[in-house]
Structure 1
Amino acid sequence: MALLIEARNYIAYHESIDQRRLPPHVRLQVSYESMRVTSRLTQVMAWLLAQKAVHAGELTIAQMASEDYALSGGDICADPTGPENEELPNGLRSLLERSHRLYMRVARLDEMVRDEAARAVG
């Protein structure tokens, strides 16, 4: 949640200030990478809410094993590029790195949960 709030604050308040002094091609990269942070965090939050629903008894393990509740966005979200780009503002680079680490941790958890759910169902 702290990372989500930090990302929201960066995008809402700091991104436009950081972009004013950047050349147009870097501003485009900032917009793209900000969307990648948003995508990662959105996917993680959706996955966590589905897990919460399973633990609350609102979803079954069989439902959880379906693709509807899998962590998605892998092609974009799992891509680790961005933090090494020194043209990007430091705040965004930090968000990119930390959101990637979080997404990859949740991807490993998703794989474990799905394997366990498949064993329980099948």
Structure 2
Amino acid sequence: MAAVSSQRTLDEMQPDFTSGRVFDKVFAEGMALVERTASYLDGPGREMSRKLPREAGLTYAAWSMELTARLMQAASWLVMQRAVRDGDMSREDALSPKYRLRREAPALEASEQRGLGLPDAFLDLVENSEALYNRICRLDEAIYQSGTEAHEGPVNRQIEALKAAAQQGAFDPLKIWGGTR
């Protein structure tokens, strides 16, 4: 039953999301952020990092690796969504846990680092990447809910009963609502 519920969510939500302007906007913003970040880290950021005080330099090094990893995960997720939309990847393959994106490590708190030696341009990229990563994690959860609780609870059972009754032409909402308690 869990696989059916997850598949229904994927079938219903994924095409709506990837075929709309929201996906196109998230995709374009995500890829542009990846490019901006790479340009910064390979150019002005590299030069700036050499001039940072020791503690700020260590934070910069650790955060730039984390930033790069999260952006690559976000970009991979976006490309995977487009592959499913374009038929280059099956929806069943997209259900694999290896393609899920969940926040496991705490977010990088750029606001807490402002004024402590890290360049504002770098911290702006960190904030933007964290926002993108959080957004994609929420989208992933909405599209590919791994739990079945949301699909098998009393409200969804009532909705399924209403759908079945409507298809049979025997629509009695009081009977349906009363019969599921």
Same fold (TM over 0.5): yes
Equivalent residue runs for 1:89-100 within 5 Å: 89-100=119-130
Q: Report the secondary structure of 1:22's partner residue.
A: coil
> What's the offset of the Cα at 1:4?
1.1
> Is 1:37 the equivalent of 2:67?
yes
- Paired with 1:79 and 1:13, the residues of 2 have a C-alpha distance of 25
RMSD: 2.0
Q: Is the 8 A contact 2:67 2:129 kept in 1?
A: yes
Equivalent residue runs for 1:62-77 within 5 Å: 62-71=92-101, 74-76=103-105
| Match of residue 23, structure 1, among 37, 53, 64 | 53
Give the 4+ runs in structure 1 shifted more than 4 A.
none
Q: Which of these two proteins has the greater Rg computed from alpha carbons?
A: 2
Q: Is the 8 A contact 1:83 1:94 kept in 2?
A: no
Superposed CA deviations along residues 21-45 of structure 1, whole A, max 9, x for unmatched, are 3211211110111112111110111
> Is 1:84 the equivalent of 2:115?
no
> What's the offset of the Cα at 1:75?
2.5
Q: Which residue of 1 aligns with 2:168?
A: none
- Paired with 2:108 and 2:56, the residues of 1 have a C-alpha distance of 18
Specify every segment of 5 or more residues in structure 1 that has no aligned partner in the other structure, as ranges. none
Q: Report the secondary structure of 1:75's partner residue.
A: coil
TM (norm. structure 1) is: 0.84
* Count of equivalent residues: 116
- State percent identity of aligned pairs: 31
TM (norm. structure 2) is: 0.58
- Paired with 1:53 and 1:89, the residues of 2 have a C-alpha distance of 36
Q: Is the 8 A contact 2:49 2:57 kept in 1?
A: yes
